[in-house]
Chain A
């Protein structure tokens, strides 16, 4: 399952008076969960749809395992995609919805029952789609994506409408798929969720790539905003000791700790030791993904 790499290169989509995706390039590796992040309207859905041959790019290419989606010999067995939660006929049962797709893809009908079991939807198999909750619709979408046992999974905002239990299930499910060596690309604007779920992230804003890489590296690349939390009974003495290090700022916090920016934790500890200041806590604080994300996408508002 090594040929499931997704490669997007110079991808551009121009609508009448909107540049939805603007020369976007990134790659997604197999065996990892990749989070595709961006504020609403950043062009995430358009990018995924171009990747799946549903929307025609104005320029650039998007390939899966080296082929365009339209050129895949067996698309359902190669790529599974979940794009809208409410994507079945209201009057059709979940099982029949899947059986229609089985027929179209030339898969045996029993796959419908197998994937229903996989997503835990067997009890609702013969219920009509209009009676499904949002969470059940998401599971049916995932079931449909898994019909061909594909090596690449593409999901657009799969956590939307899921309750905490559903989100936890989804996280485990997707991470399990990545462990099997599959490629998993998940778009989201739920940053905290991506921090828990993703190995790599691709951040876009206003149709352009902002940052891509492993979650840790992207966070580390924001070291300029690294800060240290300190708890000490001798706040004033520490502030004085740190004044000697250029670029350092000390801000008292409401909970009695000090927020120190512009300096790494070892330097703070060293200064405190030299000045004989007693420390009760010394914690380097990495900005969380949300902070990074807001920083990176600030000023590139979603509504364009």
Chain B
């Protein structure tokens, strides 16, 4: 418990935490506006007629109110997770960047406890970020559906599931950040790698895998992309399954596996590493 208190104190005694929280709120506002705009059109416009059967099936699923509700109630996830993972990275790399690892490990020679405390605090911070965005998402989405004269869908079990699993995603990305921070001690390298992997992993890699799968005519290749944590977490919070995607729980399992593996490897490395 001492160590958890110490880690929280480390976090709260510099400016990083509120800058990141502010960033999460600002990017939340932007993504919610975008999602609301998209939801408005897909829910109210008639679908175009000149589409392939697959696209039509996808659009039908996307036009589902429950799918849109889940998407709106989890708005801000894309950037929110980014802030959480970078915060997790900083919790570790700051120790090396500012050479405070020495003082930290002098106060607590049992390094496993130190990393465990960091993992714990990072996941609590993740959940806090989830609470903030969800506290903004719920009233905002309810207002949206009210103006569209639709049900709020908050009582819908798959919407509730999406909201809760979104919390799990935030928690796991916090853990994930600490793991990355231990693996890459250089603050800049770890942050840049994580941000690039996150953004590219979501946007470009998904596209690349689809392209590769089509050009090689190997449909399974497309499914490999779901092994990437960023795509897996998006999958996990989908309100309804899209026809060409694995089920939501696959995303959850993959994300838990990533968090466990990076957390465990990170702890093992820290135990034997020379601090100089």
Contact = CB atoms under 8 A, between A and B. Distances in A.
Given A81-B106, A99-B9, A105-B107, A54 B276 contact: yes
B2 A53 contact: no
B98 A89 contact: yes
A84 B106 CA distance: 13
Interface stretch (B10-18, B32-40, B130-138): B10-18
B214 interface: no
Interface string B1-44: 01101100110011110000000000000000000000000000
Contacts, number: 86
B120 to A, nearest CB: 14
A88 B100 contact: yes
Contact of A54 (B13, B16, B94, B106): B106
A63 interface: no
Contacts of B274: 49, 54-56
A296 to B, nearest CB: 26
Interface string A45-82: 11001001111100000000000011010011001010
Given A54-B102, A75-B106, A96 B276 contact: no
B107 A101 contact: yes
B2 A106 contact: yes
Contacts of A99: 9, 13
A272 B104 CA distance: 66
Interface in A84-104: 84, 86-93, 96-97, 99-101, 103-104
A21 interface: no
A103 B109 contact: no
Contacts of A93: 13
B275 A100 contact: no
A91 B100 CA distance: 13
B105 A53 contact: yes
Contact of B102 (A46, A56, A87, A106): A87
Nearest to A101: B107
Nearest to A147: B107
B105 A54 contact: yes
Contact of B6 (A49, A92, A100): A100
Contacts of B13: 89, 92-93, 96-97, 99-100
A84 B105 CA distance: 14
Given A92-B13, A96-B9, A144 B103 contact: yes
Nearest to B8: A103
B68 to A, nearest CB: 42
Chain B: interface residue count, which band? 20 to 34
Nearest to A52: B106
Contacts of A49: 274-276
Contact of B107 (A84, A87, A104): A104
B99 interface: yes
B109 A75 contact: yes
Contacts of B100: 87-89
B275 A54 contact: yes
A203 interface: no
A87 B272 contact: no
Contacts of A101: 6, 103, 107
A25 to B, nearest CB: 21
Contacts of B94: 89
A251 B6 CA distance: 66
Contacts of A84: 99, 102
Interface in B65-98: 94, 98
B98 A104 contact: no
A215 interface: no
B58 interface: no
B195 to A, nearest CB: 21
A145 B272 CA distance: 24
A79 B106 CA distance: 9
B250 to A, nearest CB: 40
Nearest to A87: B99
B272 A56 contact: yes
Given A54-B274, A88-B100, A103-B9, 15 more contacts: A45-B276, A46-B276, A49-B275, A52-B106, A54-B276, A72-B109, A75-B107, A88-B98, A93-B13, A97-B13, A99-B13, A100-B6, A103-B2, A104-B2, A104-B104
Nearest 9 A/B pairs, CB to CB: A104-B6, A103-B6, A96-B13, A104-B107, A54-B275, A91-B14, A70-B109, A55-B274, A87-B99
Interface of A: 45-46, 49, 52-56, 69-70, 72, 75-76, 79, 81, 83-84, 86-93, 96-97, 99-101, 103-106, 144
Interface of B: 2-3, 5-6, 9-10, 13-16, 94, 98-100, 102-110, 272, 274-276
